[in-house]
Structure 1
Amino acid sequence: MNLVFRGIRAEGLKLKNTLALRMAVIAPGLVVALMSLQLMVMDHSKRSPAPMEAAWLTYAEGVIGLWTFLMLPLYITLQASLLAGLEHQNRQWKYLLALPVPRHSHFTSKALVLMLMVLLATLSLILLIPFGGWLLGAVQPNSGLAGWPPLWAIAKPALATVPACLLMAMVQTWVALRWSSFTVAVSIGMSATVAGFLIGQSERFGHWYPWSMPLWTMAGDARFLPLVLASSLGLGLLALALGAWLFSRRDPES
């Protein structure tokens, strides 16, 4: 366990002043900006302002929905590829895998750092929602967005998507580390995201598909929520163990 903590600390040092770290703010900021701009150009003059809390929850639901449906899977794909790229460049794996430490610790550290990046982006999204809402309320007073938003009511569905990402993140981590090509890792992640647009709408299969699990925790039937979270956590931990085992058998030359 100490080796994993050291690995996470080492990954943190590598991430300083990198695009991967900045994306934890850029990606959620882009979602908030897009949702706010869309609502700004709508005509709110023909309706009376909604109650403040209801207006905030509706706005937040739209932002979090766009985040989980589209941006989050792409964010995980990009972050996994960028984290792996730190070692794929200049063939650093040959050096790292020759060190006297268990090889599986490298995979585990990368996977856990990816989950920390997901958590950081989710917290950024929660903190950016009030700013987007206040700006929207200033431009469109009839939107009802004024005062202090119900942060905990906003944060709960957003935070629930984090554990639901575990299985997706483990699969994408293994893909990004297995193939040195950035194009291969991104193509697989984007293809899986596009497939999630269709599979995620299925009541039979949507809550089993890794790329649509976060959406089901936020917008799916509430009766599926415990199943989705348990499946993502259980299968995600299994995927972490399997990925670490496969990575430990990796040829340093590959």
Structure 2
Amino acid sequence: MLKLLSMELLKVKRSQALWMMFAVPLVVLLLNVLMTLKKISIGALGEAHWARLWMGSTMLWCYFMMPLYIALITSLLNGHEHKNQIWRLMLTLPVSRQLNAAKAVLAWLFVAGANAVLVGSVALTIALLGVAGASQQGAFVFPMLAFWAKVSLACIPILVIQHTIGWRVRDLVLPLAVGVMATIGITQIGSSEHWVRRAPSRR
């Protein structure tokens, strides 16, 4: 398994999949930073604005971009073998099942990496804005490590579904369609009165 995983890592070196791991989270951050700076100057930024920046970036990522990113990354990683019908050769080898698992693990590593890029880029942006004169009070109270761990684990079911689709379907349209449906479903389920919500704290 480790040899297969190392082989897959060599395949994605300088590939579109690697660039997407950085580009997609940074687009989310850029959008939220531009919206924040459009409303308020750097010197007036404070604790409430940092909380909104963290919340806006993580919500936009989890609700909208991450399901689409999972569809994109699983299709890109599996697309290498769809070219020239390499899957037919791979499935005749005794490591076909291990290769499938290695592809899934690699896709998860890319998603976990994208989550880390999002969290790290938000923290770095806040630090740079602090150098530019913004207040740093309450800027880093967001549970960065816990968020990364929870989101990276929670995405595994949808990643398995998308990996299975990408493994069997060469076209990118179906995985993206499933990603769009997942995005719509997340927004509807998350706003439902039946969704599990945190109980109010008692003081």
Query: Which residue of structure 2 lines up, in the alignment, with residue 76 of structure 1?
Result: 70
Counterparts of 1:42 and 1:136 in 2: how far apart (Å)? 15
Deviation at 1:171, TM superposition (A): 0.6
1:104 is matched by which residue type in structure 2?
R
Query: Which residue of structure 2 lines up, in the alignment, with residue 128 of structure 1?
Result: 121
Query: Which residue of structure 2 lines up, in the alignment, with residue 106 of structure 1?
Result: 99
State yes or no: 1:154 paired with 2:144: yes
Which residues in structure 2 correspond to 1:23-102 (within 5 Å)? 23-43=20-40, 50-51=46-47, 55-101=49-95
Relative contact order (alpha carbons < 8 A, sep ≥ 6): 1 or 2 greater? Answer: 2
Which residues in structure 2 correspond to 1:231-250 (within 5 Å)? none
1:137–1:146 CA contact under 8 A, matched in 2: yes
- Distance change (3 Å), C-alpha of 1:88 and 1:145: farther
5+ residue gaps, structure 1, are: 208-220, 224-254
1:76–1:169 CA contact under 8 A, matched in 2: yes
Counterparts of 1:169 and 1:62 in 2: how far apart (Å)? 23
2:46–2:137 CA contact under 8 A, matched in 1: no
State yes or no: 1:8 paired with 2:5: yes
> Alignment partner for residue 183 of structure 1, among 155, 173, 197?
173
Which residues in structure 2 correspond to 1:170-209 (within 5 Å)? 170-204=160-194, 206=195
Counterparts of 2:81 and 2:141 in 1: how far apart (Å)? 39
5+ residue gaps, structure 2, are: none
Query: Which residue of structure 2 lines up, in the alignment, with residue 222 of structure 1?
Result: 198
Deviation at 1:181, TM superposition (A): 1.5
| 4+ long deviations beyond 6 Å | none
- Distance change (3 Å), C-alpha of 1:145 and 1:62: farther
Q: TM-score, normalised by structure 2?
A: 0.85
Query: Which residue of structure 1 lines up, in the alignment, with residue 109 of structure 2?
Result: 116
Deviation at 1:170, TM superposition (A): 0.3
Question: CA deviation digits over 1:19-39, x for unaligned, max 9?
Answer: 101111111111111100000
1:77–1:186 CA contact under 8 A, matched in 2: yes
Counterparts of 1:110 and 1:151 in 2: how far apart (Å)? 35
Query: Which residue of structure 2 lines up, in the alignment, with residue 20 of structure 1?
Result: 17
1:13 is matched by which residue type in structure 2?
L
Deviation at 1:137, TM superposition (A): 5.2
Q: Report SS of the residue matched to 1:161.
A: helix
Q: Report SS of the residue matched to 1:92.
A: helix
Deviation at 1:76, TM superposition (A): 0.5
CA RMSD of aligned residues (A): 2.7
Q: Report SS of the residue matched to 1:91.
A: helix
2:74–2:162 CA contact under 8 A, matched in 1: yes
Structure 1 window deviating more from structure 2 (10-19 vs 157-166): it is: 157-166
Counterparts of 1:83 and 1:133 in 2: how far apart (Å)? 33
Q: TM-score, normalised by structure 1?
A: 0.69
